[in-house]
Chain A
Amino acid sequence: MSLRSLLKKEFHWSKHNALALAFVLLLLPAFFASTSVVFGTVVPRDAPVAVTPESEEVTDQELSIITGAFEPFSDPKRVDSPEEAERMLRRESVYAIVQVPPDITDPDNDNATFVLTVDGSITPFERPSQAIRAIMARALNDAPFLEADISVRREVVGTENSLSEYLVPSFLMAIIMLFAFTYVPYNLAKESNVLDRIRAESSLETLVLSKLIYFSVLMLVPILVFQGAAAYFDYATTALSVGSVLTLLLTFFYLAAISTAVMVLLRFGTLGRFVNVVILLGITAFSGLAFPVGYLSPVRKAIIRADPVHYSTIMTRSFMLKDAELSLFADWLLALAGFALLTLACVKLSAMYYRRTT
Chain B
Amino acid sequence: MIELDSVRKEYGDVVAVRDVSLSVGGGQFHCLVGPNGSGKTTVFRLLLGLARPTAGTLSVPDAVGCGFQRPNFYPDLTVRENLTVFASLVGSPGREWRETVVDELRLRRAMDRPAHDLSGGFARKLDLALALLKRPDYLLLDEPLAALDDVSKERLLDFLSAYAGDATVLVSTHHVGDFEPYTDRLTVMHEGRVVLDARPEDLDLDGHDSLQAYYVALVREHERAARGEGHGPVGQQPGRSDGEPDTGQRLRGE
Instruction: Mark A residues whose CB is within 8 Å of B.
Output: 1-2, 4-6, 8-9, 12-13, 16-17, 190, 193-202, 355-356, 358
Contact = CB atoms under 8 A, between A and B. Distances in A.
B228 interface: no
B113 to A, nearest CB: 12
Contact of A190 (B51, B76, B88, B130): B76
A16 B88 CA distance: 20
B51 A358 contact: yes
Contacts of A355: 52
Nearest to B89: A5
B85 interface: yes
Interface residues of B, number: 25
Given A12-B77, A195-B72, 10 more contacts: A1-B88, A6-B89, A8-B85, A8-B88, A13-B76, A17-B76, A193-B74, A199-B48, A201-B90, A356-B52
A69 B112 CA distance: 76
B228 to A, nearest CB: 34
Given A4-B88, A12-B85, A199 B76 contact: no
Contacts, number: 72
A193 B86 contact: no
A198 B50 CA distance: 10
28 contacts: A1-B91, A5-B89, A6-B89, A8-B84, A9-B74, A9-B81, A9-B85, A12-B74, A12-B77, A13-B76, A16-B76, A16-B77, A193-B72, A193-B74, A193-B75, A196-B45, A196-B48, A197-B68, A197-B72, A197-B73, A199-B49, A199-B50, A200-B48, A200-B49, A200-B50, A201-B86, A201-B89, A358-B52
| Residue from the set B51, B66, B68, B85 with the largest chain A CB neighbour count within 10 Å | B85
B14 to A, nearest CB: 14
B114 interface: yes
The 7 A-B pairs at the shortest CB distance, nearest first, are namely A5-B88, A197-B72, A5-B89, A9-B85, A200-B48, A16-B76, A12-B81
Contacts of B77: 9, 12-13, 16
Contacts of A358: 45, 50-52
A200 B51 CA distance: 10
Nearest to A192: B72
Nearest to B81: A12
A358 B42 CA distance: 11
A190 B115 CA distance: 14
Given A12-B77, A12-B81, A199-B50, A194 B72 contact: yes
A183 to B, nearest CB: 14
Interface in B34-89: 45, 48-52, 64, 66, 68, 72-77, 81, 84-86, 88-89
Interface of B: 45, 48-52, 64, 66, 68, 72-77, 81, 84-86, 88-91, 114, 130
Where chain A touches its partner, the secondary structure class is helix
A356 B49 CA distance: 11
> Taking each of B68, B73, B90, which has the highest tally of chain A beta carbons within 10 Å of its own beta carbon?
B90
Given A194-B74, A196-B68, A5 B50 contact: no
Contact of B74 (A1, A13, A201, A356): A13
A6 B68 CA distance: 20
Contacts of B75: 190, 193
A237 to B, nearest CB: 36
Contacts of A198: 89
Contacts of A199: 48-50
A16 B77 CA distance: 7
Given A12-B77, A16-B76, A193-B74, A5 B52 contact: no
Contacts of A8: 84-85, 88
Given A8-B85, A9-B85, A201-B89, A193 B73 contact: yes
A24 B66 CA distance: 36
Nearest to B130: A197
A70 B192 CA distance: 76
A22 to B, nearest CB: 15
Interface centre among B49, B73, B74 (most CB of A within 10 A): B74
Contacts of B45: 196, 358
A16 to B, nearest CB: 4
A6 B88 CA distance: 9
Contacts of A356: 52
Contacts of B51: 358
Contacts of A6: 85, 89
A197 B66 contact: yes
Contacts of B114: 16
A199 B74 CA distance: 14
A201 B130 CA distance: 11
Contacts of A190: 75-76
Contacts of B81: 9, 12
A200 B73 CA distance: 12
A196 B91 contact: no
A190 to B, nearest CB: 7
Contacts of B50: 196, 199-200, 358
B73 A202 contact: no
A201 B89 CA distance: 7
A113 to B, nearest CB: 68
